Amino acid sequence: MDFDLTQDQREIQALTRDFARAEIEPNASAWDRDHHFPRELFGKLAEIGLMGACVPEEYGGAGVDFLSYILVLEELSRADAGVGVTVAVHTSAATLPILTHGTDEQKARFVPPLARGEHLGAFALTEADAGSDAGALRTKAEPHDSGWTITGAKQWITNGRHAGTFLLFARTDQQTAGARGVSAFLLDAEHVRVTRDEEKLGLNSSVTNDIVIEAAEVGRDRLLHEENRGFRVAMATLDGGRIGIAAQALGIAQAGYDVARAYATERRAFGHRIADFQAIQHKLADMSMEIDAARLLVYRAAWLKQEGRKHTEEGAKAKLFASEMARRQTAEAIQILGGYGYTKEFPVERYYRDAKITEIYEGTSEIQRLVIARSILGLTERALVAR
């Protein structure tokens, strides 16, 4: 086994870290406080190739491997998890499915503007009555001579207000219930109306929206993959997307650990640095150990996807462990800082708020356990999960 990153991987990791320290970290607290979506930032990220990191160069991307892209998400989320999830959804849930399932014409038309950061991507699967049971979705696409008329409503749509391209799922077979009879479509912003901006516990520099699609007329060239086979697109997208959310959780936890460790070496009590006390040492040791364990799970899952190997179980394990670890260890970071940790003078309270959602979206922790159990028991039924 070789646990070293390649030279190219180390370089993109360093590039992202330097950018994040210069452009994101100094602004993250203000963005969180003001609920500001830093749209201009994504143009800067595109200039250095990070809005299409693992997109082939022929489609306007940087052409790096999938593990390099995961390193990008980790570093961005270490600085601001809201920025991390914006890029994760844009890339994993919108751009990569087009590359995987699209026709040559669809790839040439939709991918380059996404990779260049001219458009943001969004993934529209979840509905009010179709969350973890995504097969219960009611948005419908009715055929006509030149395409479809799509009508429905979607919920919890990351990037919705600012997206230019939506990967949206609708029922094309109205007589069939469940996952069968669902198709995937590529919609533009003009096909969608935003009805709500969600007020959230964390990730305040990202946007989460409710949207409606009101009899939008789209041509047959907007169907992604095969008619009535769109749920396969959704599940394959979520298999890879979980690894991105695991990387986001990993970055958040690393940020919390960094602040807690630095504080412990400077804060003094009873005539000593608090890092000299065994209770604090044990907390930091556990944080470091669990972050390392999560990183190994995340990188393994990313490598398997990169190699074109099965990664459903491994991605679920990485996402489950990293997200629950991030919630636990950001709480410990607050504990180490004591009263200061509970204030906005230090960023650990923001890390704690941001970490919680990683246990919920891209499939809850409960759904991840179902995915893992079905894999290890050899069951064929897929867990139905949604963002």
Is 362 known to be catalytic? yes
Which pLDDT tens digit goes with each residue over 195-231? 999 999 999 999 999 999 999 999 999 999 999 999 9
Using the structure block, give the residue that is written with the tokens 């996402």: 319
Active-site residue (options: 105, 362, 366, 381) = 362
Q: Is the pLDDT of residue 387 over 80?
A: no
| Helix, strand and coil percent figures for the chain, each rounded to 5 | 60, 15, 25
pLDDT at 178: 83
Distance from C-alpha of 289 to C-alpha of 283, rounded to nearest angstrom: 10
**Distance between alpha carbon 255 and the CA centroid of its chain, in Å?**
17
CA-wise closest residue to 205 among 357, 367, 383, 379: 357
Which pLDDT tens digit goes with each residue over 67-85? 999 999 999 999 999 999 9
pLDDT at 383: 39
Q: Which stretch of 11-20, 154-163, 172-181 has the lowest confidence by average pLDDT?
A: 172-181
Q: Is the pLDDT of residue 366 over 80?
A: yes
The domains of the chain are located at: 7-120, 122-230, 232-376
Distance from C-alpha of 63 to C-alpha of 54, rounded to nearest angstrom: 5
CATH number listed for the domain at residues 7-120: 1.10.540.10
Which pLDDT tens digit goes with each residue over 263-303? 999 999 999 999 999 999 999 999 999 999 999 999 999 99
Label residue 177 by pLDDT band (50, 70, 90).
confident
Q: Which stretch of 22-26, 128-132, 318-322, 352-356 has the lowest confidence by average pLDDT?
A: 128-132
Q: Is the pLDDT of residue 385 over 90?
A: no
CATH of 232-376 given 1.20.140.10, 3.40.1450.10, 3.20.20.10, 3.40.50.300: 1.20.140.10
CATH of 122-230 given 2.40.110.10, 3.10.450.50, 3.40.50.300, 2.60.40.3080: 2.40.110.10
String of b and e for 80-98 (b: at least 16 CB within 10 Å)? Answer: bbbbbbbbbbbbbbbbbbb
pLDDT at 380: 64
Distance from C-alpha of 115 to C-alpha of 289, rounded to nearest angstrom: 36
The one-character DSSP state at 221 is G
Cβ neighbours of residue 164 closer than 8 Å, sequence gap 6 or more: 113, 114, 118, 119, 120, 121, 188, 189
String of b and e for 286-301 (b: at least 16 CB within 10 Å)? Answer: ebeebbeebbebbbbb
